[in-house]
Amino acid sequence: MIRVAWKAFRTQKTMAEGAGRIDVLLLGGTWNPRGDGISTAFARHLDADRFAPRFVEYPADYGRAMSYTESRAAGRQAMLAALDEVTGSVVLAGYSQGAAIAGDIAAEIGRGELPYRNVLACALIADPLRPSGRCVGTDPGGYGIAGERHVPGLPTYWAAAPGDPITALPAGNPLRSIADLTGYFSLASPGAALRWGRSLLDTGTRHAMQRWWSLEHRRSWTGAVAFARGYLYGGRHTDDYIRHGHVLRLAETINTQVRDSNSRGHR
């Protein structure tokens, strides 16, 4: 399956290079290893004369066949392999779990820890690690459910919908424990379940949980149900990104802000 996907990727890469466009490497969200409607909507709003978007396939799992942490690691390797295949300028992009992966790689590139100097920018939709105050358009408040990851040294743009607990969760919301405790969640095998149990112990002994229960955040404690309902039934993490124009604004920002002349040079 992966070999077939990479054959298609190489064909698309050749077409993009021939047209002289900037490659946009996209990682879809959880349960969508080959892309999703939110990312596709973003890609469709990019200037087709300048950008060549395509999805990078990865497991996009969360506890079925593998844990979220393992899926992110596989996604990282898939994106790095994609970057190795591209010789021209690149924009990294992702939605939800894919945004977590793309944003982490962008941060490493910005800090000089990875050699991909042909990456011009990064576009992130519903990033679980969105920093507070970083958003194209009106800031919905809060920050990523898994914490905050800044991206120094590389232009990075975020789309965040109000009420989306994955990317705009108040500091004191109890839902933060989901991100803290389920990174290795998987019941795919007894060994996977044991690994999850060990990760829970490790998180507790290292005091690695976000301190949402701090008294300074007490006004946010009661919002967990509303945020969960918006995620499950209200489309805050899905339809709202299209319905309220968040992906459109992000794409327009990439269209206007990203220029090939801004390249920092190739690897």
DSSP 167: T
pLDDT per position as a tens digit, 128-175: 999 999 999 999 999 998 889 999 999 999 999 999 988 998 887 777
Q: For 56-70, 193-207, 222-236, which range has the lowest pLDDT when averaged over its residues? A: 193-207
pLDDT per position as a tens digit, 20-52: 899 999 999 999 999 999 999 999 999 999 999
110 CA to centre of own chain: 16
* This model's pTM is above 0.75: yes
Burial of 181: CB neighbours in 10 Å, binned 0-12, 13-18, 19+: middle
Give 2-170+234-261's CATH code, choosing from 3.90.1420.10, 1.10.20.10, 3.40.50.1820, 3.30.360.10. 3.40.50.1820
Coil, strand, or helix at residue 94?
strand
Structure tokens at 157: 């743009």
CA distance 172 to 106: 28
Give the position of tokens 């990203």.
258
CA distance 219 to 254: 36
pLDDT of amino acid 186: 40
User: Is 70 exceeded by the pLDDT of residue 214?
Assistant: no
Give me the residue spans of the domains in the chain. Answer: 2-170+234-261, 176-227
pLDDT per position as a tens digit, 96-105: 999 999 999 9
Contact 249, 138 (CB under 8 A): no
User: Is 90 exceeded by the pLDDT of residue 93?
Assistant: yes
